[in-house]
Amino acid sequence: MMNTEEVCKEIIQSIRGKVSHEKYTDFFLSHPYSNTALAISDFFLEQGIQTSSYLIKRQDIKLLKDCTPFIIQVKSENNKLFGIVYNIDVTTAFWYNPIKNRKENISISLLQKLFSGFVLIIDNTKKIAHKPNIKSYIRDFFNKDFTFMIYSLMTLSSLVFILRIYPTFSFNIIINFILIAIGVFICLSIINYENGESIYLKKICHKKKTIDCDSIIHSQGSKVFGVHLSSIGLSYFSGLLLICAINSTVVLNSLLWIYLLSSIFIIYSLYYQIILVKKICTMCMSIIVINIGLAVNLFFVADTSFNIKDIKEIGSVIICMYTAFILIQTYINGKYKNKEFKREKYTLTRLKNRKDIFMKILMQQRKIESLTDNIGIVFGPSTAEYKITIITNPCCYWCKELHKETHNLLWSRSNIKIQIIFNVPSSSSNMELEVSRAILGRAASPSTYYASNEILDFWFEKSYNNLSLFKKRFIFPKTILEAQDNKINEMYFWCKSEKLYTTPSILINGFLMPDEYELKEVLYMI
């Protein structure tokens, strides 16, 4: 998991917001500058939370005590780590340490040494990120299908198990079941950790002198015949859960033999960690302790005698273990392949979002030579380096969606000007013509030139497809509206002559924007 993603998660949690894990992952893997403050700011903007960035003197950080929580850049290699300050006073601060991946107290003097001077203030007063509720919890629960499968398996096994043992209660069997259930959760947590989906386990497994989970979990020795030991462990404990639900003393007694056979993996794991790597994984050791506990728990109560007639019932044990292994491996292999596919997709996305590659692709597109500023409405400085031309229609849904990306450009980017051209034929509906006339009529008045941006905002954001509301807000004399018909026809016939039939169509400096790109991607590169 990227540091920027961790920081955003911590902030959202601190303001009691709720964002799905998939949204974090998809956003940061696809962002062209995923390890920067820009990515953090863009993520919060997407959630409706405003941010402000500043460069300040390091000794002035204690003056921000009323702005907590806020994000700071920590001095590190290439300055790519970000921390969070939750509380700060004259002598100490409570913060999220990105180096140790944990929250801790720190002296102001040490914090000032680590602080690079860059700070990102979060506007959390509105707390727009949606609050967690019953519906969001249920949705997230069912979205995590694998976790749901495990929980369902455990619940079903528990029910059958309780019904089976009710007449003859056994404390040892209860302990056996609880230990197996804990083993399932630990193995599931390790698998999530391998996939970068468990920030909490990362905090538990942070590096110490002898403890380093990464060195064990992501090493070559963590696989047997190409299968991760965490996957084998999850299959093992899931199979044991199924066995526990079988109403047979012979089957339950066979568990002891399974525990003893698993000692081969215990010896291998201990040898690999202590002798070869010389590091300990706390989660791996907990699995070893659970397995030893399972064996000790059943050793004094299980009947280890063997009868040839028991082979048929023992066959059900093998079926349970094999079924669990096949189901778990099928799912995990699919999950790994899907993750690899996403990783390749995001790698290509980042490559695509390099400015030099984009400009080469752009120059290969068709150029509209007849495009001038004398047609449509043009916003922004005439000397701007880039001109974005948008062929639009007031009643086009996708034009409405595109307007969300462009309406703030005039105020945030001095190197861009925007040209709006309406592709509205004279045979259009009354609504298309009337809205086009009103917008052009507002732009025709020099004193209200930039106010035509206001009328565009009102139509696309507040009164879309509601002509009566729009006409109540903007009232123009009939003569001004009818005077715009020639302009509307001129734009329509120009679009037709250049074979620009679809809306919205986007031109960048006269070149058609490549189909492989969206405008929000292009804005990172110009």
* pLDDT of residue 197 exceeding 80: no
Which residue from 230, 203, 523, 498 is spatially nearest to 353, judged by alpha carbons? 523
Do the two domains 3-122 and 366-522 of this chain adopt the same fold? no
Class of domain 3-122 as given by CATH: alpha beta
Question: Which residue type sits at 384?
Answer: A
Environment class of 437 (CB within 10 Å of its CB; exposed 0-12, middle 13-18, buried 19+): buried
- Read off the tokens for 80: 């790519």
pLDDT band at 131 (very low <50, low <70, confident <90, very high): very low
What does the alpha-carbon distance between residue 358 and residue 526 come to, in Å, rounded to a whole number?
A: 10
pLDDT band at 130 (very low <50, low <70, confident <90, very high): very low
Instruction: Tell me what percent of the residues of the chain surpass a pLDDT of 70.
Output: 79
pLDDT at residue 373 in the model: 77
* pLDDT of residue 117 exceeding 80: yes
Q: What is the pTM of this model?
A: 0.54
pLDDT at residue 389 in the model: 92
Average of per-residue pLDDT across 507-524: 86
What does the alpha-carbon distance between residue 14 and residue 62 come to, in Å, rounded to a whole number?
A: 20
Residue 52 makes CB contacts below 8 A (sequence gap 6+) with 120, 121, 123
* CA 372 centroid distance within chain: 42
CATH homologous superfamily, domain 139-339? VKOR domain (1.20.1440.130)
pLDDT at residue 391 in the model: 92
Residue 275: CB atoms within 10 Å = 8
Q: Which of 77-91, 217-231, 421-435 is predicted with the least confidence, judged by mean pLDDT?
A: 217-231
- Residue 504: asked if its preceding bond is cis (omega within 30°), the reply is yes
What does the alpha-carbon distance between residue 149 and residue 184 come to, in Å, rounded to a whole number?
A: 12
- Read off the tokens for 391: 């062929």
Do 157 and 242 form a contact (C-beta atoms < 8 A)?
yes
- Residue 32: asked if its preceding bond is cis (omega within 30°), the reply is no
* Alpha helix (H) residue ranges in 353-484: 355-363, 397-406, 409-412, 430-444, 451-461, 467-473, 478-482
Question: Which residue type sits at 88?
Answer: I
* pLDDT of residue 495 exceeding 80: yes
* Domains in the chain: boundaries: 3-122, 139-339, 366-522
The C-alpha R_g of the chain, in whole angstroms, comes to 31
Name the β-bridge partners of 107.
92
Phi, psi of 396 (to 5 degrees): -95, 120
What does the alpha-carbon distance between residue 69 and residue 11 come to, in Å, rounded to a whole number?
A: 7
* Alpha helix (H) residue ranges in 60-122: 108-114
Class of domain 366-522 as given by CATH: alpha beta
pLDDT at residue 202 in the model: 62
pLDDT band at 512 (very low <50, low <70, confident <90, very high): very high
Q: What is the pLDDT of residues 25-45, one digit of tens each?
A: 778 877 777 888 888 888 888
Average of per-residue pLDDT across 512-522: 85
What does the alpha-carbon distance between residue 187 and residue 157 come to, in Å, rounded to a whole number?
A: 18
Most confident of 165-169, 324-328, 475-479: 324-328
Q: What is the pLDDT of residues 479-490, one digit of tens each?
A: 888 888 888 899
Average of per-residue pLDDT across 234-238: 83
Do 191 and 284 form a contact (C-beta atoms < 8 A)?
no
pLDDT band at 198 (very low <50, low <70, confident <90, very high): low
What does the alpha-carbon distance between residue 463 and residue 470 come to, in Å, rounded to a whole number?
A: 6
Environment class of 176 (CB within 10 Å of its CB; exposed 0-12, middle 13-18, buried 19+): buried
* pLDDT of residue 511 exceeding 90: yes
What's the whole-number average pLDDT of the chain?
Answer: 78
pLDDT at residue 187 in the model: 83
Do 233 and 302 form a contact (C-beta atoms < 8 A)?
no
pLDDT at residue 127 in the model: 46
Which of the pair, 431 or 342, is modelled with greater confidence? Answer: 431
Q: Which of 100-104, 176-180, 210-214, 365-369 is predicted with the least confidence, judged by mean pLDDT?
A: 210-214
Which residue from 467, 416, 412 is spatially nearest to 437, judged by alpha carbons? 467
pLDDT at residue 310 in the model: 55
Average of per-residue pLDDT across 368-397: 86
pLDDT band at 94 (very low <50, low <70, confident <90, very high): very high
Which residue from 253, 261, 259, 244 is spatially nearest to 296, judged by alpha carbons? 259
Which of the pair, 513 or 280, is modelled with greater confidence? Answer: 513
Residue 238 makes CB contacts below 8 A (sequence gap 6+) with 150, 153, 184, 324, 327, 328
Q: What is the pLDDT of residues 278-326, one digit of tens each?
A: 888 888 888 888 888 888 877 766 655 555 455 566 667 777 778 888 8
What does the alpha-carbon distance between residue 265 and residue 27 come to, in Å, rounded to a whole number?
A: 39
Residue length of the chain: 526
What does the alpha-carbon distance between residue 121 and residue 366 come to, in Å, rounded to a whole number?
A: 43
Do 487 and 440 form a contact (C-beta atoms < 8 A)?
yes
* pLDDT of residue 247 exceeding 70: no
* pLDDT of residue 453 exceeding 90: no
Average of per-residue pLDDT across 93-117: 88
* pLDDT of residue 464 exceeding 50: yes
- Cα separation values, 416 from 289, 334, 385, 491, Å: 63, 45, 6, 22
Number of Cα atoms under 13 Å in the Cβ half of residue 317: 19
pLDDT at residue 128 in the model: 44
Average of per-residue pLDDT across 426-443: 80
pLDDT at residue 507 in the model: 92
- Read off the tokens for 118: 């860059």
Q: What is the pLDDT of residues 321-377, one digit of tens each?
A: 788 888 888 877 777 777 777 777 777 777 777 788 888 899 999 998 888 778 888
Which of the pair, 86 or 124, is modelled with greater confidence? Answer: 86
